[in-house]
């Protein structure tokens, strides 16, 4: 994690085969591709290290 933002996998549930991904980024860094790249890597890690086979998205912007 940096001072600009962060991302994490959380709430791993093997029973429901579910992992949540949370992330945040300071608005000064929006639109520069940082979270797109980070999200791609964290999703790949989650799929590679769990039994999850699909993703569902929920977007809650907070400004």
Concatenate the DSSP letters of all residues of 7-26 into one string: EEEEEEETTTTEEEEEEEE-
In a domain, 35, yes or no: yes
In a domain, 10, yes or no: yes
In a domain, 57, yes or no: no
What pTM was computed for the model?
Answer: 0.58
In a domain, 63, yes or no: no
pLDDT digits (tens, 9 = 90+) for 3-51: 788 878 776 666 667 778 888 888 898 899 888 888 888 888 877 877 7
CA–CA separation, 55 and 48 (whole Å): 13
Which residue segment(s) compose the domain that 20 sits in?
5-48
In a domain, 61, yes or no: no
Total domains in the chain come to: 1
In a domain, 58, yes or no: no
């Amino acid at each position: 994690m940096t001072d600009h933002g962060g991302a994490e996998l959380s709430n791993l549930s093997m029973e429901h085969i579910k992992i949540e991904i949370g992330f945040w980024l300071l608005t000064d860094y929006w639109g520069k591709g940082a979270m797109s790249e980070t999200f791609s890597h964290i999703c790949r890690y989650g799929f590679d290290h769990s039994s999850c086979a699909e993703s569902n998205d929920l977007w809650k912007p907070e400004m």
